Amino acid sequence: MIERIETGVRSSKIVKHNGVAYLTGQVGEGPTIQAQTEECLRRVDALLAQAGSSRRDMLRATIWLADMSDFAGLNEVWNAWVPEGHAPARACGEARLARPELKVEIIVDAAYG
């Protein structure tokens, strides 16, 4: 069975299937990569909780940066946020994001249940 949570015309905030919660990509506001990453991760935390999951249950993270020169700033916040011993598989690449002011988008898949 597939469960969709907060489904709109274009996407769902969460899709759950076979013990995995797939979260929609999260972005944040703020002037720096650190501020935007912190807000992204606050939003990821909220979606994980809504899905019945947590940071410790993350399976995979896909991270898009508007500019790879922000990689170190992203990692500064990311490394403090991920629980020790529970880092997910992760990929990070550069992409043009939906709005020019956005610096980062984070997509997470996590186990639940």
The distance from CA 36 to its chain's CA centroid, rounded to whole angstroms, is: 12
**With the C-alpha atoms ordered 75, 81, 85, 87, is the resulting torsion angle positive or negative?**
negative
pLDDT at residue number 38: 98
The confidence band for 100, taking pLDDT boundaries of 50, 70 and 90, is very high
- Contact yes or no for 11/18 (Cβ under 8 A): no
Read off the pTM: 0.96
Provide the phi-psi class of 19: left if phi over 0, else alpha when psi is between -120 and 50, else beta.
left
Q: How many CA atoms lie within 13 A of 13 on its CB side?
A: 12
**Tens-place pLDDT, residues 11-64:** 999 999 999 999 999 999 999 999 999 999 999 999 999 999 999 999 999 999
